[in-house]
Amino acid sequence: MSEPKLKITRGDIIARGVLCHCPNCGKRGLLASWFRLGKACRSCGMDLARSAGIYSGTTSIGYVASIVFVIIPVCFLVVFKVLSVTTGVLLGIFGSFGFIVLIYPVMLCWMVMAYHVALPGELPANGGKEGRDD
């Protein structure tokens, strides 16, 4: 049996997620604060509670992003003697923390995107039922 025709495709979900827009309606309104998703999209009311496991995903994304964009460049700067070891360690620690805080809202949005790319039929616009207990 083939997958039913989706009104909102996986490509649409990815495009919306990259921009931190709701995967269902395409508008902004997922975040309650810098560090927290809302209970529902402020524009269309899509329930975000089923995506609660996303907080563990943001930790994984944060570790990898911090290593790639902060730790590795700082290591190269220390190896090529642009920075002292002490400065490199301090920059690595505080730079990683600051970087994660800076990109945390994006990580939240991307985890909502990943959930709905995997399960596009869960979107209300694609026939998913709000409040369904899966």
pLDDT tens string 110-124: 888 988 999 899 899
Amino acid, res. 85: V
Express each pLDDT in 12-22 by its tens digit: 999 999 999 99
Tell me what the mean pLDDT of segment 69-91 comes to.
97
* Residue 1 covered by a domain: no
State yes or no: pLDDT of 35 exceeds 70.
Answer: yes
In a domain, 28, yes or no: yes
In a domain, 82, yes or no: yes
The reply to whether 95 falls in a domain is: yes
Domain of residue 61, residue span:
10-126
24 band by pLDDT with thresholds 50, 70 and 90:
very high
| Rounded-to-integer distance, Cα 79 and Cα 76, Å | 5
* Separation CA 47–CA 42 (nearest Å): 10
> Distance (Å, rounded) from C-alpha 8 to C-alpha 2?
16
With a cut of 80, say whether residue 132 has pLDDT above it. Answer: no
Domain count, the chain: 1
**Six-digit token pair at 44?**
């269309």
Residue range 89-98: average pLDDT? 97
Residue 134: pLDDT band with limits 50, 70, 90: very low
61 within domain boundaries? yes
pLDDT of residue 4: 65
Distance, CA of 105 to CA of 110 (rounded, Å): 9
Is there a domain that residue 118 lies in? yes
Query: Is this model's pTM higher than 0.85 or not?
Result: no
